Amino acid sequence: MNREDDLDKELRDHVDLEAEDRMDAGLPRSEARAAAARQLGSVALIKEDVREAWGTAWIERMRQDLAFAARLMRKTPGFTATAVLTLAIGVGASTAIFSQINAVFWKTLPVDRPQELRSLAWFGQKHPFVAGTNVIAGPSVAGIETFGSFSYPAYKEMRDGTRTFSQLACWADLGEARPVVMRDVGFGTVHFVSGNYFDTLGVRAAIGRILTPEDDTPGTTAAVLSEPFWRRSFGGRADILQHTIDLNGKAFAIVGVMSRGFFGIDPSTIPDVIVATGAVQLAASTVNPLQNPVLWQMCRVFGRLRSGVTDQQARTDVEPWLRQAADDAVTAAATMQRRPRENDYDAPRLFLLDAERGLGTLRDAVSTPLLILMAVVVAILLIACANIAGLLIVRGAAREREIATRLALGASRGRLIRQLLTESLLLSAAGGALGVALAYAFARTSATLISRFMPTVYGADRSLGVIVSPDARVLIFSAAVTIVTALVFGGLPACRSTRIALISSIKRSKTGVGRSSRLPADKLLVAIQAALSVLLMIGAGLFLRTITNLRETPLGYDPGGLLYARIEPRTGGIPSAQRAAFFERAVKRFETIPGITSVTATDNPPLGRAATIFLGAPAARFCMPGMTPHAERDASAALAGVAPRYFETLRTPVVTGREFDWLDGEAGNAASSGAPDPSRPRFPAIVNEAFARRFLAGKNPLDSRFGLNCPSQPSAIQIIGVVADSKNLPRQSSSPRIYVPMGGSINVVTLILRTGGRPEAMIPTVRRAMADVSVNVPTFGETTPIELREQQMQQERLLTNLLIAFGAVALLLSSIGIYGMLAYLVTRRTSEIGIRMALGARPAAVVAMVLRESIGPVAVGLALGALTAIVAARWVNTLLFGVTAYDPRTIAAAALVFLAIASLAALLPARRASRIDPLGALRAE
Residue type, 69: A
Residue 56 is a binding residue for other proteins (CB under 8 A): no
3-state secondary structure of 569: coil
Residue 506 is a binding residue for other proteins (CB under 8 A): no
In angstroms, what is the minimal distance from the CB of 21 to other proteins? Answer: 7
Residue 142 is a binding residue for other proteins (CB under 8 A): no
Question: Which residues between 626 and 655 bind other proteins (CB under 8 A)?
Answer: none
Query: β-strands 596-602, 705-706: how paired?
Result: unpaired
Q: Binding segment for other proteins among 6-14, 145-153, 570-578, 773-781 (CB under 8 A)?
A: 6-14
Single out the residue of 52, 214, 346, 402 in contact with other proteins (rule: CB under 8 A).
52
Nearer to other proteins, 39 or 878 (CB): 39
Single out the residue of 17, 476, 577, 924 in contact with other proteins (rule: CB under 8 A).
17
In angstroms, what is the minimal distance from the CB of 43 to other proteins? Answer: 9
3-state secondary structure of 343: coil
In angstroms, what is the minimal distance from the CB of 58 to other proteins? Answer: 15
Cα gap 612→462, rounded to integer Å = 14
Cis upstream peptide for 730 (omega within 30°): no
* Residue of 762, 779, 751, 782 lying closest to 600 (CA atoms): 751
Residue 57 is a binding residue for other proteins (CB under 8 A): no
Nearer to other proteins, 11 or 205 (CB): 11
Q: Binding segment for other proteins among 3-11, 123-131, 334-342, 435-443 (CB under 8 A)?
A: 3-11
Nearer to other proteins, 24 or 239 (CB): 24
Single out the residue of 4, 6, 346, 925 in contact with other proteins (rule: CB under 8 A).
6
Q: Binding segment for other proteins among 2-10, 589-597, 712-720, 778-786 (CB under 8 A)?
A: 2-10
3-state secondary structure of 394: helix
818 and 526 Cβ atoms separated by less than 8 Å = yes
Nearer to other proteins, 48 or 317 (CB): 48
610 and 618 Cβ atoms separated by less than 8 Å = yes
| Bridge partner list, 534 | none
Single out the residue of 41, 78, 678, 698 in contact with other proteins (rule: CB under 8 A).
41
DSSP line for 443-509? HHHHHHHHHHHS-TTS-TTPPPS------HHHHHHHHHHHHHHHHHHHHHHHHHHH---HHHHHHS-
* Residue of 631, 619, 651 lying closest to 785 (CA atoms): 651
Q: Binding segment for other proteins among 13-21, 88-96, 612-620, 738-746 (CB under 8 A)?
A: 13-21
Q: Binding segment for other proteins among 53-61, 414-422, 556-564, 624-632 (CB under 8 A)?
A: 53-61
In angstroms, what is the minimal distance from the CB of 61 to other proteins? Answer: 17
* Residue of 456, 461, 480, 544 lying closest to 188 (CA atoms): 461
Cα gap 171→187, rounded to integer Å = 19
Cα gap 67→63, rounded to integer Å = 6
Cα gap 625→635, rounded to integer Å = 12
In angstroms, what is the minimal distance from the CB of 415 to other proteins? Answer: 20
Nearer to other proteins, 38 or 588 (CB): 38
Single out the residue of 46, 137, 635, 899 in contact with other proteins (rule: CB under 8 A).
46
Cα gap 23→922, rounded to integer Å = 63
Q: Binding segment for other proteins among 45-53, 249-257, 324-332, 838-846 (CB under 8 A)?
A: 45-53
Question: Which residues between 447 and 466 bind other proteins (CB under 8 A)?
Answer: none
In angstroms, what is the minimal distance from the CB of 450 to other proteins? Answer: 55
Cα gap 434→84, rounded to integer Å = 8
Single out the residue of 26, 55, 594, 757 in contact with other proteins (rule: CB under 8 A).
55
**End-to-end distance of the chain based on CA atoms, in angstroms?**
55
In angstroms, what is the minimal distance from the CB of 2 to other proteins? Answer: 13
Single out the residue of 2, 53, 75, 518 in contact with other proteins (rule: CB under 8 A).
53
In angstroms, what is the minimal distance from the CB of 18 to other proteins? Answer: 6
Residue 341 is classified by DSSP as P
Single out the residue of 11, 137, 375, 897 in contact with other proteins (rule: CB under 8 A).
11
In angstroms, what is the minimal distance from the CB of 59 to other proteins? Answer: 15
Residue 40 is a binding residue for other proteins (CB under 8 A): yes
Helices (H), 499-571: 502-507, 520-552
3-state secondary structure of 786: helix
Q: Residues 18-37 vs other proteins: string with x where CB under 8 A? A: x--x---x------------
Residue 7 is a binding residue for other proteins (CB under 8 A): yes
Residue 14 is a binding residue for other proteins (CB under 8 A): yes
86 and 387 Cβ atoms separated by less than 8 Å = yes
* Residue of 47, 62, 51 lying closest to 12 (CA atoms): 47
Cα gap 111→92, rounded to integer Å = 30
In angstroms, what is the minimal distance from the CB of 410 to other proteins? Answer: 17
3-state secondary structure of 775: coil
Single out the residue of 8, 23, 34, 50 in contact with other proteins (rule: CB under 8 A).
50
Other CB atoms closer than 10 Å to residue 54's CB: what's the count? Answer: 12
Cα gap 200→513, rounded to integer Å = 79
Cα 808–Cα 810–Cα 811 angle in degrees, nearest 5: 65
Nearer to other proteins, 43 or 593 (CB): 43
Residue 734 is classified by DSSP as -
In angstroms, what is the minimal distance from the CB of 64 to other proteins? Answer: 20
Nearer to other proteins, 19 or 397 (CB): 19
Nearer to other proteins, 19 or 753 (CB): 19
Cα gap 602→139, rounded to integer Å = 32
The residues, ordered by sequence, that sit 6+ positions from 53 with a Cβ below 8 Å of its Cβ are none
Question: Which residues between 525 and 584 bind other proteins (CB under 8 A)?
Answer: none
Cα gap 824→829, rounded to integer Å = 9
In angstroms, what is the minimal distance from the CB of 54 to other proteins? Answer: 7
Nearer to other proteins, 19 or 847 (CB): 19
Nearer to other proteins, 14 or 401 (CB): 14
The residues, ordered by sequence, that sit 6+ positions from 381 with a Cβ below 8 Å of its Cβ are 90, 91, 93, 94, 481, 485
Single out the residue of 29, 31, 42, 771 in contact with other proteins (rule: CB under 8 A).
42
Instruction: Give me the helix-helix angle, 472-498 and 361-398, nearest 10°.
Output: 30
Cα gap 34→324, rounded to integer Å = 105
Query: β-strands 636-642, 737-741: how paired?
Result: parallel
Nearer to other proteins, 3 or 915 (CB): 3
In angstroms, what is the minimal distance from the CB of 14 to other proteins? Answer: 5
In angstroms, what is the minimal distance from the CB of 354 to other proteins? Answer: 54
Single out the residue of 28, 29, 39, 341 in contact with other proteins (rule: CB under 8 A).
39
In angstroms, what is the minimal distance from the CB of 32 to other proteins? Answer: 13
Single out the residue of 26, 30, 45, 242 in contact with other proteins (rule: CB under 8 A).
45
Nearer to other proteins, 55 or 219 (CB): 55
Single out the residue of 4, 28, 29, 54 in contact with other proteins (rule: CB under 8 A).
54
Question: Which residues between 253 and 282 bind other proteins (CB under 8 A)?
Answer: none
Cα 847–Cα 848–Cα 853 angle in degrees, nearest 5: 100
Which positions touch other proteins (CB under 8 A)?
6-7, 9-11, 13-14, 17-18, 21, 25, 39-42, 45-46, 49-50, 52-55
